[in-house]
Amino acid sequence: MANLKEVKERINSVVSTQQITKAMKMVAAAKLRRAQDKITQMRPYSQKLTAILNNVSAASDGQADIVFAEKREVNNVLVIPITSDKGLCGAFNSNVLKASSTAIAGQFVGKNITVLPLGKKAFEFFKKRGFNVIDTYYQVFSDVSFENVKLAAEFAMNQFADGNYDKIVLVYNHFKNVATQEVIVENFLPMSSDTEDAVKKGSDTDYILEPSREFIIEELVPTSLKIQFFKAVLESNASEHGARMTAMDKATENAGELLKDLRLMYNRSRQAAITNEILEIVAGANALGGK
C-alpha cells in the first residue's frame, strides 16, 4: 500500500494541475470568441471579393494578363505551414506539420523546397530538419492584424511574380467548430482556374468598368490574394484556440478522474493504517493481560 504522505502529495499536485488546465480553458474560450467573430465576419467578405474578381475576369473574355495566374513548370516550391507559437493544443500543430511533410515527400518530391513558416512551432520543426527556411515572418501571431499579415502575403506574391517560385501552397487548419479543425493544403499561387469557369458562365454578361478593365483587375487580384492569405491565418488562429480549449477541457476531466482514484487510494491507505494501529493496541493489551 502506498505511503499516505506520497499519496497526499500526488493529490495536491493533481489539484494544482487541474486548476491550471481550468484557467487555460477559460482563457482559450475568451480568445476563441474573438477569433471566431473575426473569421465568421471575414468569410463573406472573402467570398464576395472572389465573386467580384471572377465576374470581372469573365467580362475580360480571357484578355487580361494576370501575372499571378501564370502557370509554369514546377521546379521551385514555397510551402507556407501555419501553426501556433505555443503548444498544449492537442494535435493542432502536429497535424499541420504532418500534412506539410507529406506534401513535400509526396506531391513535391524532387522539387526545390523552401519553407515560409508562420508560427514558432513550424519554424522550429523545419529549421531543426535542415530545410531552407525563411525566418522573417514566423512571429506573425504576436499581432494578428491585416497590416502585419499582408507583409508575408506581399513577400510570397512578389517572389512568385519575380519567378523565384513556380508554386506556393498554404497548409493550415480550417475552423469548423470548437471541437473540429480540418487540415487544408491549399494552392495559393498560381491562382486557381475558378476564373476560367466564371468566363464560361459569364461571357454573355455585359459589364461597364471604370476607369478600365485592366486597372480594376490589377487592383482586385492582389487585394483578393492578400485577403485569401489573411483568411487562412484567421482560420488557423480560431482553430488554435478551439483546439486548446478542447484539449484543456479533456485534461481537466482526466485530472478529475485521477483525483477520484488517488482519493480512494488515500482512504484505503489511511484505513489500513488505522486498522494496523488498532491491531497493535489489541495485541499489546492481550500481551499485558496474559502476564
Cell of 128: 531543426
Is 93 within a domain?
yes
CA angle 228, 233, 239 (to 5 degrees): 125
Helix, coil or strand: residue 180: strand
207: domain CATH number? Answer: 3.40.1380.10
What lies within 8 Å, CB to CB, of 76 at 6+ separation is 111, 112, 114, 164, 165, 166, 167
Residue 279 belongs to some domain of the structure:
no
Looking at the domain assignment, is residue 11 inside a domain?
no
Which residue has 510551402 as its cell numbers? 79
Give domain status of residue 258, yes or no.
Answer: no
The answer to the question of residue 41 being in a domain is yes
In a domain, 31, yes or no: yes
Domain carrying residue 215: 25-246
- Residues 243-285 have pLDDT tens digits of 999 999 999 999 999 999 999 988 888 888 888 888 888 887 7
Distance CA 68, CA 168 (A): 11
- Is 261 domain-assigned? no
For residues 85 and 246, the answer to whether their CB atoms sit within 8 Å is no
| Tens-place pLDDT, residues 82-105 | 999 999 999 999 999 999 999 999
**Could you read off the pLDDT of 126-176 as tens digits, one per residue?**
999 999 999 999 999 998 999 999 999 999 999 999 999 999 999 999 999
Residue 189 forms part of a structural domain: yes
Q: Which residues are catalytic?
A: 89
* CA–CA gap between residue 274 and residue 151 (Å, rounded): 69
If one counts the domains in the chain, the total is 1
**C-beta of residue 36 within 8 angstroms of C-beta of residue 221:** no
- What angle, rounded to 10 degrees, do the helices at 213-290 and 146-161 form? 120
